[in-house]
Chains A and B, each alone.
Chain A
Amino acid sequence: MLNTIEKSQLMIGFIPLTDSAPLIIAQEEGFFADEGLEVTLSREVSWSNIRDKLMFGALDAAHMLAPMLLASSQGVGSVKKPLVTAYSFGLNGNAISVSNQIYAELEKLEPQLIMQPQATAVAMKKLVEQRKQQGDAPLRLAVVFPFSMHHYLLRFWLNSAGIDVDNDIQILVVPPPSVVQALEEDLIDGYCVGEPWNSHALEKGVGVPLISGYDIWNNAPEKVLGVRSQWAEANPQTHAALIRALYRASEWISQPQNRDEVIEYLTAPEYIGAPKNSIMNAFAGKLMSPDGTQVREVKRFTLPFRYQANFPWQSHAVWIVEQMQACGQLNEEMDAQAIAEQSYLTDFYRDTVQALGVKLPDSNYKVEGQHAEPWSMDGIDLAEDMFYCGASDS
């Protein structure tokens, strides 16, 4: 198998976040080496950098926001260059946090908010109306990038209560490591970001994680492994080897006996470099009120492997494209399904992973927003997929 690889030395970019773990584990536990790959992991500081380096060939592959891959492929927000993916870095992992002051005001409007995620958006709506009446400025909510699940989950949640996001909310971008500071300095009122930056705000006493991404869309996509379409065509065996290594790494991460080691690796300064406590929180998935009286465990705060978490569903891509269209980032006339099929190489993933003897779904799509419990597709277990408060798809 080794001699069929077109390119063995690879440069792969990642952003220091807990969901980059499969890259780190594949490197450290030798899953890349087993495939004959010599990988250099390049820690990047911004999504813009990762995108540019991938597009211009400085990186072979990259840990990327799924919506960014789709946007770049359509030339939105960047040069147009077709990017593709055949691997998803697991599901979920985000939360929405607000400042202490906003949290206190929300609790006055709807008490026990941590325990009832379904009441949070309604409370936000009441607060927005109250602020309008008082002539206060719109709430300032940060996301990590305009093309990110964070942005669309936040909008979905606000929209569900009838909040006019374009007029009544100011959405801005703040890089993940800066959100807590921005909250502390009163530059923003809240944000949607991945861990450990939600737990971190609570620990520092500057903000409160209100609701998890899982509560907004059960088992939502997040990051994918992006490569250039041309690269994928020129290096199919290398691409397949990468996917096999990452699949094995994801499986390894999901095994409880490896948990401590995963955390140990992630804590290393060359990888995430965050304190052990924060990274452990990311796996624990607990939301808590500042006084500790309300504690809610989110059952799949992150889902790295189980329930086909690495399967690049084209239905995920379609949902993302539809959100991009809904908020005016992408022309409404464009065919979401065609875009999804261009960028999500689901068949390639299936062929590659099935060759390992794993049974995978035959379909590239699944209906989203229909299952409140884990269910089975052709005998394969899949996780629940409900939207916030049972809202329907699109």
Chain B
Amino acid sequence: MAEMMKVMLVDNESARSALLAQALADHGYKVVARVQPGPNLLAMVARYMPDMVVIDTDSPDRDILESMSLLNEHNPLPVVMFADEDNETVIQEAIRSGVSGYIVRDVDKERVKSVMNVAVARFREYQALKNELKVTQNELEESRLIDKAKRLLMKQKGATEAHAYESIRKMSMETNKPMGEVAKNIISVLEL
């Protein structure tokens, strides 16, 4: 079997938590910890390094988990939560949005696996999208820097545009650094 997905359960209802832990284990997930909600959640995540956290939507600690991937990009965690059954539309929309998955409050063993699978798949999609966005942003930033460096070279060294671009590219190859970084260095020197 492929590497097991490590799950941390955050729940103060131990009966429900035990039931869910069993259901997850039956379906090939590794439950690394069952913890009580509280402000030390961050430390718990750091200790157990789960791939996924299951938490009740009624827990205020949800904000802690949400912030984790926002404040610390190296620790992306899909979050699956319990929600009230009568909020089915909320659940559907949320799952479609790909940010989180939801499990109805009364844990049905059979449904756990499919819900978890959907959540994981959606989470990966979301992460991929986020990374893609980042790449695009970086590319934008890079071309902005190159442009600026080019203009500075043209203005201060009397180079033509083609020549300026060529010298940035050459420096990039020689120093084995990305063009954006070379451009940044040029800007910092020429702007003095």
Contact = CB atoms under 8 A, between A and B. Distances in A.
A45 B58 contact: yes
A48 B140 CA distance: 31
A174 B71 CA distance: 12
Interface in B102-126: none
Contacts of A55: 93
A77 B90 contact: no
B58 A187 contact: no
Interface in B12-61: 38-40, 42-43, 57-61
Interface in A304-330: 329
A52 B70 contact: no
Contacts of A45: 58-60, 62
A48 B90 contact: no
B63 A46 contact: yes
Interface in B53-85: 57-64, 66-68, 70-71
Question: What is the size category of the interface that chain A forms with chain B?
Answer: 20 to 34
A174 B65 CA distance: 10
A276 to B, nearest CB: 22
A272 to B, nearest CB: 14
B71 A48 contact: no
A359 B87 CA distance: 43
Given A58-B90, A145-B63, A173-B67, A79 B97 contact: yes
A34 to B, nearest CB: 31
B99 interface: yes
B89 A58 contact: yes
B63 A171 contact: no
A172 B71 contact: yes
Contacts of A53: 90
A175 B99 contact: no
Nearest to B59: A45
B38 A178 contact: yes
Given A52-B94, A78-B99, A145-B67, A187 B59 contact: no
A230 B121 CA distance: 29
A52 B71 CA distance: 19
Interface string A36-73: 00000000011111001101111000000000000000
A175 B89 contact: no
Contacts of A331: 137
B63 A185 contact: no
Contacts of A182: 39-40
Is chain B's interface secondary structure helix, strand, loop, or mixed overall? Answer: helix
Contacts of B38: 178, 181
A48 B61 CA distance: 10
A333 B57 CA distance: 35
Interface string A173-204: 11101110110010110000000000000000
B66 A77 contact: yes
A138 interface: no
Contacts of B89: 56-58
A48 B63 contact: yes
Nearest to B70: A146
Given A57-B89, A145-B67, A172-B67, A49 B99 contact: no
Contacts of A187: 39-40, 42-43
Contacts of A329: 70
Contacts of A282: none
Contact of B42 (A49, A56, A79, A172): A172
A71 B38 CA distance: 26
Contact of B93 (A48, A56, A181, A333): A56
A144 interface: yes
A179 B64 CA distance: 12
Nearest to A80: B97
A47 B90 contact: no
Contacts of A78: 99
Given A146-B67, A172-B67, A187-B39, A46 B62 contact: yes
Contacts of A58: 87, 89-90
Residue of B67, B89, B99 with most partner-chain A CB within 10 A: B67
A235 to B, nearest CB: 19
Contacts of B99: 78-79
A182 B59 CA distance: 16
B140 A175 contact: no
A47 B63 contact: yes
Nearest to B91: A56
Given A56-B89, A145-B67, A178 B140 contact: no
Interface string A331-344: 10100000000000
Contacts of A48: 62-63, 66
A94 B90 CA distance: 32
Given A47-B63, A146-B71, A173-B68, 8 more contacts: A46-B62, A55-B93, A57-B93, A145-B63, A175-B63, A178-B61, A181-B39, A185-B40
Closest 4 pairs between A and B when the two form their complex, measured CB to CB: A173-B67, A182-B39, A175-B60, A56-B93
